[in-house]
Structure 1
Amino acid sequence: MKTLALIPLRGGSKSIPKKNIKPLAGKPLCAWVLEAATAAERIDAVYVSTDCPEIAAVVQGLNLGVQLIERPAEYATDEASTEAVMLHFIAQAPFERLVTIQATSPQLRAADLDTALARFDQERLDSLLSAVRTKRFFWHDDATPINYDPLQRPRRQDFPGTLMENGAFYITRRAILERHRCRLGGRIGRCDVL
């Protein structure tokens, strides 16, 4: 089963321009996830989709064997979804599973990706999301609780908490992406990571 990783690296971030190549602990931000993806044993090849020549040069300069995909301008706008980038990628390379990784997750490790892919296979999943458990009490805007009963407020150590999608990575079968045009669909699983 061919497994590819896709890291979308857009150059036009409004909050922090070119954030994906800003230095973090001595490396460009994107280097952390690129190193994790290329070191993962269960990933066959790693691709970067970018609209920015400067980002492309930084990625090439890392010498990790990452392949570059030129992202068309319409998929590099503030309104363009990650799904649009994933769907553009479908025509670029054959794969059965796609691991889409966000560059803003520098703590991601190769072991996290390999564990998630093993779970994906063992549980016969169609898609998988990364999540983190949070032990916070959440409320709606109308001041009604979301995840607990205030009349029976649990102690934090007794509270199972809530899983929050953290966006570090997603695994999607090609057929699911083609059918639903979404990163998640079919039998969905999760993998807890920081």
Structure 2
Amino acid sequence: MLLCCVSAWTSIHTFPTDRPSNGPTVCEVQLILKNLDNLSTQLLQDYRKNESDMPDSQAWVIQKYPLPCFTPGPQASHNISVIQAYLRKTTADRTDRVDRMDGMVADVLEQLDKLKDDSTPEALATTPASSRDAYEGKSFILAVLHQFSGCMAETREAFTKSLPKEGQRCSLMK
């Protein structure tokens, strides 16, 4: 989690204010980050509610399955690709399907696609070795959702603070 916070903090100074011709505008990025922050929080809350027997914090799982934080800048597309791979694994090969979670993850993946360079190759995610170990599988999902939610909150805040003038204009346009 600390790396996520530090990465988000340093992104304040590295987020490009000019955009590629096919990329989102500053206001669009702000809206996408807001949506991702809300979706990631909702995913985590829903999963905790459905899996109330799982402890909130499991440092060993986070260390075993570290999720990079989305940080605007040169590594953004790669990090987004890795995040997407992990999020896909949270809904793949599950016997205890939760359709609402699947739909929300699909929404998150779509939002992340808007921020990623189209030429970025798809990444692979490390997952629990045995799909028979339900506890480790649930721990993996909780760790991914916990890290992603924390990173999105930090990234959104850092982005908003880094562009106060543009942020004010975006708020007026809504």
TM-score class, shorter: under 0.3
* Larger relative contact order (CA 8 Å, sep ≥ 6): 2
Greater Cα radius of gyration, structure 1 or 2: 1
Give the structure-2-normalised TM-score.
Answer: 0.24
Instruction: Give the structure with the larger helix fraction.
Output: 2
